[in-house]
Structure 1
Amino acid sequence: MTMFISPMLLEKREEPFNDKTYLFEPKVDGHRLLFSFIDGKTTLYTRNKNMITHKYPELLTHPFTKSVILDGEVAALNQSDIIDFEEIMIRFSASRSEKIKRLQTEIPVIFVVFDVLYYDGKDVRRLKLEDRKALLDEILPPHPVFQKILSVEGDGKMLYQAIQSSPFREGMVAKKKGTRYESKRSKSWLKIVNYRYDEVFIQGFRKNEFGLLLSFDQEGHQTAGILELGMPREAKSYYFQKIKDIKIKEDERFVYTHPVHCRVKCRNLTHKGLLRSPSFVSF
């Protein structure tokens, strides 16, 4: 028997806050994973119910003897002990058993657990958040791979400041105390992303689908990536009106223009020094 429970999803909030009715946790820059151990069989699922048990063999050796379903994020640490999204994506994309076995050594993973949904034959989603946390403390002993998330009560601003110099630089999650686990998007769970902001220059645009070529310098020598997200219709209209008379050249994929300054935000820089999923902020 296997069992999948749809995960609880988060709403966005822009700024950190303090509130005694919330628990605050670091946001892990990995990917969502549902861990199911039912009738002696371990199964790993993505948030969309894709079975990925074979991708993370290290999670098959665990401390549980009773049935349990856990919610968390699987993540990878780089050589600087910083959680690295690109590294976990390398693990996630591996499909051949030989490569997966090699990557276990090269890119070890951790499973950061933040909730328990089912235990010893009982659905515990109706328990209050803090009661589920207490149950998780009881059933999950210290373990090198299965790690419990840190929770702070009330002081979200302090935690948000602390995470900026910690391995958990992705941001913060705020969870309303006294709430049940809902298998849907809920305002009881809020994410506050620790964005990086940059001043960049648009050097042109993609022809077939929307995408703006970005550079860190006005001359276009230091590529910053392609902006595809977060640009409202009014800003797009303003941009395309502005560049009517400043086009330089074009090829099969792009039209190149004189530089247009703008401000963007992103999660971090990629290994190649590009902005990761940049989003438009303003001109």
Structure 2
Amino acid sequence: MVNLGVTLGRLELRNPVLVASGTFGYVREMAGFVHLNRLGGVIPKTVTFRSRAGNPTPRTAETASGLLNAIGLDNDGIGHFIEHHLPYLRSIGTAVIANIAGEDPGQFVEMAGMLAGEPGLAAVELNISCPNVSHGLDLGIDATSVGKLVREVRAACPLPLIAKLTPNVTDIVPIAAAAAEAGADAVSLINTVKGMAVNWRRRRPILANDIGGLSGPAIKPIALRMVWEVSRALPGFPIIGIGGIASAVDALEFLVAGASAIQVGTATFYQPTAAEDLLDSLIERLAAEGIDDIASIVGSLRSNKLPH
């Protein structure tokens, strides 16, 4: 038997396979496709302080090896989430990680405080990296702002905290370091990469929002590089890898690069069972390699530029 248990700061998971916020709805929608209690955890779609209608359509566009989205955080608001979605989420038999986004630090703190006393939540993921809402990146591109936000949320909420960081920065390391120093239990790397698609005949962008966030296999090399950089700079600090993960091999690449857990996102759109399929394949791969504890391979990647 392979020991798949992972520890992310104060958060313990039965296995490292999570589903990414924004790709799994409020989870209830996926219950007919996936044995939810087999997953390491689920992250419902981002919730904001007030309900949001999101951006105008079209809000998605397929690209080469990826998907552009400019959904704009369409959701029912934190109050509706607590009243209508949390009761169901408590019943699914795996870790539930709420994902929240505020228009300013005060909203993050208030929402985290509202969730602090709710039973059935394993952790809170802070979405400080959404590229397709007004001011969505302002907090996430500055290390000082990220550190201040995490520190304030940590003071208001005793639950484990995960900071979901944007790749749309020059250097991810100081931002991850600021989150770690401020008390985050882990960071999620990465959110989507800013991009666009164009209809050249109409001389217009395809997305109504013009710019969107690119996800899927196209961003996997970027995500791997950032996981590797943060892992080397902050040895031992928990990282959740995200970006183009659709198979056990993808997951293993992130794990050896330094991630302790992974999130399956875009793959769910074309294969609803992607996360559970990945878990089955991961168990088989590890057993075939004679690896009995998944933690033993985390961060085992070695640079070609250093002596072996």
With normalisation by structure 1, the TM-score equals 0.27
Between structure 1 and structure 2, the one with the greater Rg is: 1
The structure that is strand-richer by fraction is: 1
With normalisation by structure 2, the TM-score equals 0.26
The structure that is helix-richer by fraction is: 2
